Structure 1
Amino acid sequence: MPVSRSQSWGAAPSDPDLLNRLMGWVHLEFIPGDESNFLDSQPFAACDLRAALKVAVWKISFVQDPALYDRIQLARGPQFRVMVDIGKMYRTRPLEWEGVQPEDVDSASVTDLKWYLYNARRELEWLKHEMDRLDLYMQNAAYLKARNDRHSFTYSRSKRRTVSR
């Protein structure tokens, strides 16, 4: 997915191909061979890292979090009756992504930007994984309810992976 200049918040990317590769990595569109060293193995400009982090924070806060919340509400409804502790889903976060402000990103060092990006990618992976797990759990719950084998269920979230400094 090509990224325009306006999507990088006014800063001209150093190399559009590198910026597109970085955005693809953030959006989980590909997994590099050595993921733990991805940001250090490419000559990303600081403006590209800032743009990618702003997109990742936006995606977590305004796309994935609401999508997970909606799934949890659906799972807890009468159709599935899955007990999900919403608080536990968010309590173990290493960062409160909603609290990351654009001015914080603009003033962050390249080292901090990379740390934030690795953790943002981990959070996006976790959110996708949890939504997929919850979807499967709801399918199984619907099947077992239809067979009258069970009437309520309890869901436990999976563990988050984080990157330390």
Structure 2
Amino acid sequence: MFPPRIFLECMSDHSLIFAVLVAPMVVLTLTALASGEVAVMAEPVWSYQTGGVVTSVAISADGSRAVAGSEDNRVYFFSTSGLLWSKDTGKALFSVGISSSGEHIVAGGWDGKVYLFSSSGDLLWTNQIGGAALVSISLDGGHIVA
């Protein structure tokens, strides 16, 4: 058994961002288009039109949840069925992350703020760190690096 891995690839013109989760029994592809649309799988099972360019995507270890950050100031949280919730942070987002269980979502803004959300969409805390925030969250959701 190998640990889940997420591979990210971005086109040089930033028109497409691909996130591919490879885990035991799961291969899920999430594509974020410059138009703001997020599509799951090569042949989309569903798609969702955001209000701006999607800047970052992340997928839970089991492939059942995904998060996207956008220049429309919103964090979008998806299940394999579609959008579960979106939250307005007030500023464009630079980076997002998700714990392996999908229970904790972290987002970093262009304004240097870091946001932590629960899977139900509750804002758990924010922290101002300075410049644009590139974020990552530990597998158990207990630690955040920004």
Superposed pair shares fold, TM > 0.5: no
Q: Counting strand residues as a fraction of each chain, which structure ranks higher?
A: 2
Per chain length, whose mean CA-contact separation is higher, i.e. which structure has more relative contact order (CA < 8 Å, sep 6+)?
1
Higher share in helix: 1
Give the greater-gyration-radius structure (CA): 1
